[in-house]
Amino acid sequence: MTPDFVVHLGKEAISLMLLISAPMLVAGLIVGLGISIMQAVTQIHEVTLTFIPKILAVSIALMAALPWMLQKMLDFMHALIARIPTLAS
């Protein structure tokens, strides 16, 4: 196992983590931005107003993207397990 391989594996893991977390982060960002605009227009500045819509949006995004996320993680793990014999040499 060379240092280059370890760096490459770390880079793949981080990019997979960012890719998998993107749907929930984007959903939370869009809902948070929409709530913030609504609060600015109506001048209702209640901090707790954003929690429930964000939680619902992130939960819905998680349920919608979960099969895709699991498939991406399984593909990564299959590729990682397939590389194990080449690491012993």
**Measuring CA to CA, which residue among 37, 53, 56 is closest to residue 45?**
37
Q: What is the pLDDT of residue 89?
A: 61
Residue 49, C-beta contacts closer than 8 angstroms, at least 6 positions apart: 35, 39
Of 12-16, 29-33, 67-71, 83-87, which gets the smallest average pLDDT? 83-87
Question: Does residue 61 contact residue 24 with C-beta atoms inside 8 Å?
Answer: yes
Question: 63-89, pLDDT tens digit by residue?
Answer: 999 999 999 999 999 999 998 888 776
Q: What is the pLDDT of residue 46?
A: 82
Host domain of residue 55: 3-87
Question: Once rounded to an integer, what is the mean pLDDT over residues 49-56?
Answer: 90
Tally the domains of the chain. 1
Q: What is the pLDDT of residue 3?
A: 85
**pLDDT above 80 for 57:** yes
